[in-house]
């Protein structure tokens, strides 16, 4: 399973989780995972805008000599940065309510096991070659957030940034999630 597959599964799982929350908060509200310029309301939109390798969680084997056996392939930690935005009628504050429902859903689930991700993404029978996903609210100041919206060429909406870190194992290797 490639990094793109893991990103797709994690995005689908988070979208499903957020969808349950926003549909309960506002009648007719939905969750989407598309470019923010295309998002409409009422609802919450989750947009993966950056994927990278998490160097802080990297575990490099130390003290290996040329005569030692080569270490097993190390898991790689990936970071996904998501823009979570609320959309809807400005007069009734639907956008803010949908964003708040999405934030509450993610804060209630700071860790998603691999089995949960597969189930929420509709792929429950598969074996995961990735571990749990850790979901954390990122601190972006207003300038950074505005710059992101400008770079996306989309009209700014109430939004927050989440970092999701997932450990991906070597091909053919799976671990209980």
pLDDT tens per residue, range 14-41 = 999 999 999 988 899 999 999 999 998 8
pTM of the model: 0.84
Closest CA to 107 of 28, 52, 160: 160
The least confident of 5-9, 37-41, 111-115, 168-172 is: 168-172
- Let me know: does 164 contact 79? Beta carbons within 8 Å: yes
To the question of domain 3-58+74-168 being in CATH 3.30.70, the answer is no
**Sheet hosting strand 130-137, strand order edge to edge:** 30-32, 43-53, 76-87, 159-168, 130-137, 111-112
pLDDT at residue 174 in the model: 52
pLDDT tens per residue, range 56-80 = 755 444 444 445 554 556 678 899 9
Residues 79-89, mean pLDDT to the nearest whole number: 94
pLDDT at residue 57 in the model: 56
Phi, psi of 134, deg, nearest 5: -105, 125
pLDDT at residue 25 in the model: 87
Looking at residue 128, what DSSP letter applies? P
Check pLDDT > 50 for residue 177.
no
Burial of 96 (0-12, 13-18, 19+ CB in 10 A): middle
Q: Where are the domains of the chain?
A: 3-58+74-168
The least confident of 29-38, 120-129, 151-160 is: 120-129
Q: Which 3-state string (H, E, C) describes 29-91?
A: CEEECCCHHHCCCCEEEEEEEEEEECCCCCCCCCCCCCCCCCCCCCCEEEEEEEEEEEECCCC
Tokens of 44: 């919450």
């Amino acid at each position: 399973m490639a990094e793109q597959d893991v990103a797709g599964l994690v995005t689908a799982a988070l979208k499903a989780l957020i969808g349950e929350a926003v549909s309960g908060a506002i009648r007719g509200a939905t969750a989407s995972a598309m470019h923010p310029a295309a998002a409409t309301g009422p609802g919450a939109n989750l947009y993966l805008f950056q994927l990278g390798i998490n160097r802080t969680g990297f575990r490099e084997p130390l003290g290996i000599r040329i005569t030692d056996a080569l270490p097993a392939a190390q898991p790689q930690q990936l970071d996904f940065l998501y823009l979570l935005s609320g959309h809807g009628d400005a007069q009734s504050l639907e956008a803010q309510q949908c964003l708040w429902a999405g934030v509450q859903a993610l804060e209630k689930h700071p860790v998603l096991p691999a089995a949960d991700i597969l189930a929420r993404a509709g792929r429950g029978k598969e074996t995961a070659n990735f571990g749990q996903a850790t979901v954390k609210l990122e601190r972006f100041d207003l300038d950074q957030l505005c710059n992101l919206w400008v770079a996306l060429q989309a009209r700014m909406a109430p939004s927050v940034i989440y970092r999701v870190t997932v450990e991906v194992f070597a091909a053919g290797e799976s671990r209980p999630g």
